[in-house]
Amino acid sequence: MQTTRHSSLTSLLSVSAAAAGTRRRGGLLPVATVLIALIGCAGPAIRSQSPEVAALIGMESDIRLVGDYAAPWGTHPLRIERAALVTGLPGTGSDPPPGTQRALLMADMQARGVAEPNKLLASPTTALVWVHGYLPPGIRKGDRFDVMVEVPADNDTTSLSGGWLMPTRLAEMAILGQRVRDGHVLGDAEGPLLVDPVSGGTLDSKSKIRARVPGGGVSRTTRQIGLIIAPEHRSIALSKRVGDTINRRFHAVIKGTKRGVATPKTERFLDLDIAPAYEHNLPRYIRVIRAIAVVEPPAGRHARMELLSRQLADPVTAPSAALKLEAIGRDALPVLKQGLESSDAEVRFAAAEALAYLGESTAATHLAEAALHLRSARPAALAALQVLDDANGIDALQSLLTSPSAETRYGAFRALWKIDPTAPLIRGDRLGDAFSIHCLDVDGPPLVHCTRSTRPEIVLFGTEHAIDSGLRAEAGSSIVVVVEGGKATINRFVAGEPDQIIEVDARVDPVARGIVQVGGTYPDVVQFLQQASAARCLSSRLAFDAVPNEFDGRTSIHDEAASRERGDEEQQDDEPAAEPDDVEGDTASSGSGRGTDVAAGEGRVGTSS
C-alpha cells in the first residue's frame, strides 16, 4: 500500500508540475484545474496527502528556470565547403565539365599560383571533388574535424581510392542571385582519402566516389555559444540576473582567470563558455543550464528538494529530476546519493550520471554497470565516466576494456584517451604523419578497431592478432602483402622508383608498421585489414567506428530496463542499424568471429590535434 501511495503521489506531482510549466508558457491549464481533476479520480491514499501535494505544487509553480526566459544559441553544426582537387589517382580521375564547380576550383588554383591548371585538371590522375565538413558548436581554433569528399554527379571519375586531397580552404557557401557566394574561410582540409572500407570486398559505384579524411580539417575559428532572451522578457536587468544565476553555479578558468561562464552582452544575448566537465557533452550542458532556477520562493529550496527527491525515486520522472538536481549543484548531493540505493536500474543510472558531472566518483561503479548491462544507457554512461578522472573513474573504465562488446571496449578506450592520452595502458605510437596505433595488453576476445572519423587510429585489444598463411592482399595501389609461414612480405612497386621489400612477423601490429615504413598511408593499412578479414585470414574481430551513439536507433533506457524486469530476451549487443545516405552519421552492422563489423559513428565535437 505504501508503495502504491508513493508511486501515485510522484506521478501526481510530475503531471501537476508539467501543468504548471504549461501555465507559465501560455495559461491554458491552470494547476488547480488539473489538481482537482486528478484528486477527484484518485483514491483515499492520494486525498490524504492533498495538503502536502497542494503546497509542493504551489511552490513548484512559482519557480522560474533559465529555460523559462532564454533559449540556446549557436548549438547547431555549421557546414563549410568548397570545390577541391584530388591527386594521386591510379588513372580513375577525369577532366571535369565546364560549370560553377570547375570555375570555383580554377579560381582557387590560380590564386595559389598553380601553373597550367587546365592541363592538371585534364589528367586521369586527378579529379574535381566537392568537400564539406561541419564545425560543431564549441569547436576551438585549431581543433580538428572530419572532412567528407564526393565526386559531383556530372563527372566521369570512377574511384577516389588512393587519392590525396590537396590543401583546401572551406567556407560557408550560398546561392544568391543565381551565383554561388562564399563567406570567410573558416577551416582548412588536406590528407589521404579513406574510401568506405565496409563491405565484402567490393564497393558499388557510388561508394567508390565518396570518401573522407578522418580529422582532416582544422578549424580557423572558435564557435561561441550563448543564450537568447525571449522577446517578452528582454531587459538589461533580467539579462544580468540570468547571468549572475548561472555564474553562481558554473565557473571556468578562461585566459588564466577563474570566472563565471555567462557574460551578458545585451538585453537579449548572453555569451556562454563551456564548463570543463561538459566539454565533451555540450547537449547536457545546455539542458543543465536551462534547468537552473532564476526565481525560487523564500524557503523554497528545501521543499523543492523534497519534491525532486520524490520524482527521482520514480523511473518515469527520474531523468528530469536528476537533471534539475544537477543544476542545483552540490547541495543536491545527498538526494542524488540516495538514488544510488534504488532497486530500479533507471533510477540508479539517472542519479549516477548527475553525480558524475558534479565530480562524485562514487558514481563510477554504477556507470560502469550501466555501460555493461544497459545498451541504451551506454553512450551516456561512458560520457559521464570520462568526467571522472580520479582513480575510481579510471578503474571503472579500465574494467570495461575486457567486455565482449566492441562499442563498450572502444568507448572505454576513447574515454581513457580523453582523460590522459599519455597513460601507459593506452598511449600507443604515432606512425609518422599517417596514424596512431595502440596495442592494449588486456584480456577479452581479440579485437582490431579502426576509425573512419575524428582521428585516424588503430586500436588492438589484446597483444596477439595473427594473420593466417595464404593471404595475398593489397594495401593501396602500389603495395602488396603476402603471408606465408608466419611471415608477411610487404612489397612496394612504383614506376621510376626502386622496389621496396621488407619482411615482418605475420601479426597486425608489425604489418601495419611495415606498410607505413614503405610509404603507405592510413587508408592503405585499413584496406589491407579489410581484405584480410574478408578472406578470413585475420584471427581477430575487425570493427569500424564502434562508438556508442544515443541516436543510432537503440531503445530507451526505460524500455530496456522494463524489458529486463519482465525477463524478455536481451537485445543483441552492437545491434546493426541501417546505413544512412549521408556519411556524417555513421551507423553499423555487426558480426562475430572472423569478419568485419561497423558500429555506430559518433556525432563529433571538434578535437585538438
Q: Give one DSSP letter per residue of 206-232, joined into a string.
A: HHHTEEEEEEEEEESS---EEEEE-GG
Long-range contacts of 567-575 (CB under 8 A, 24+ apart): 571/375, 573/375, 573/404, 573/405, 573/407, 573/408, 574/405, 574/406, 574/407, 574/546, 574/599, 575/375
Interval 504-539: pLDDT, tens: 999 999 999 999 999 999 999 999 999 999 999 999
Whether the CB-CB separation of 135 and 78 falls below 8 Å is answered with yes
Number of C-beta neighbours around residue 296 at 10 A: 17
Which pLDDT does position 576 carry in this prediction?
Answer: 39
3-state secondary structure of 492: strand
What average pLDDT score do residues 353-371 get?
A: 96
Which pLDDT does position 213 carry in this prediction?
Answer: 95
* Among the ranges given (178-187, 351-360, 576-585), the one the predictor scored with the smallest mean pLDDT: 576-585
Number of C-beta neighbours around residue 41 at 10 A: 8
What average pLDDT score do residues 115-140 get?
A: 95
User: Does 498 or 301 have the greater pLDDT score?
Assistant: 498
* Among the ranges given (17-21, 80-84, 232-236, 581-585), the one the predictor scored with the smallest mean pLDDT: 581-585
Amino acid at residue number 97: P
What average pLDDT score do residues 214-228 get?
A: 96
Which pLDDT does position 604 carry in this prediction?
Answer: 32
* Among the ranges given (21-30, 352-361, 465-474, 552-561), the one the predictor scored with the smallest mean pLDDT: 21-30
Which pLDDT does position 32 carry in this prediction?
Answer: 41
What average pLDDT score do residues 208-215 get?
A: 93
Q: DSSP label at 337?
A: H
Sorting pLDDT into bands at 50, 70 and 90, what band is 215? Answer: very high
**Cell 557533452 sits on residue:** 281
Buried b / exposed e along 493-529 (16+ C-beta atoms within 10 A): eeeeeeebeeebebbbbbbbbbbbbbbbbbbbbbbbb
What average pLDDT score do residues 58-87 get?
A: 92
The cell numbers describing 501, all together, are 621489400
Sorting pLDDT into bands at 50, 70 and 90, what band is 568? Answer: low
Which pLDDT does position 579 carry in this prediction?
Answer: 37
- Say if residue 317's pLDDT is above 80: yes
Nearest-5° Cα angle at 121, 102 to 496: 160
3-state secondary structure of 387: coil
Distance CA 187, CA 430 (A): 24
Whether the CB-CB separation of 360 and 340 falls below 8 Å is answered with no
Which has the closest alpha carbon to 170: 138, 130, 128?
Answer: 130
Q: DSSP label at 453?
A: S
- Say if residue 585's pLDDT is above 50: no
Percentage of the chain surpassing pLDDT 70? 80
* Among the ranges given (126-140, 163-177, 564-578), the one the predictor scored with the smallest mean pLDDT: 564-578
- Say if residue 434's pLDDT is above 70: yes
Label residue 547 left, alpha or beta by phi (over 0 means left) and psi (-120 to 50 means alpha): beta
Sorting pLDDT into bands at 50, 70 and 90, what band is 303? Answer: confident
- Say if residue 7's pLDDT is above 80: no
What average pLDDT score do residues 345-356 get?
A: 96
- Say if residue 34's pLDDT is above 90: no
What average pLDDT score do residues 465-470 get?
A: 96
Residue spans per domain, the chain: 1-62, 78-219, 224-294
Q: Which helix (H) or strand (E) holds 525?
A: helix 522-534
Percentage of the chain surpassing pLDDT 90? 66
Q: Which residues contact 239 (CB under 8 A, 6 or more apart)?
A: 229, 264, 265, 266, 267, 268, 269, 270
Sorting pLDDT into bands at 50, 70 and 90, what band is 430? Answer: very high
Which pLDDT does position 550 carry in this prediction?
Answer: 72
Distance CA 382, CA 446 (A): 21
Which pLDDT does position 50 carry in this prediction?
Answer: 54
The cell numbers describing 198, all together, are 565496409
| Centroid of chain to Cα 591 | 23
pTM over 0.85: no
Which pLDDT does position 54 carry in this prediction?
Answer: 64
Strands (DSSP E) found in 230-339: 251-254, 257-260, 262-264, 269-272, 293-295
Sorting pLDDT into bands at 50, 70 and 90, what band is 456? Answer: very high
Which pLDDT does position 477 carry in this prediction?
Answer: 86
Q: φ, ψ for residue 36 (rounded to 5)?
A: -65, -45
What average pLDDT score do residues 6-20 get?
A: 43
Q: What is the mean pLDDT of the chain?
A: 84
Distance CA 426, CA 155 (A): 44
- Say if residue 297's pLDDT is above 70: yes
| Centroid of chain to Cα 394 | 20
- Say if residue 18's pLDDT is above 50: no
- Say if residue 226's pLDDT is above 80: yes
What average pLDDT score do residues 71-78 get?
A: 95
Sorting pLDDT into bands at 50, 70 and 90, what band is 353? Answer: very high
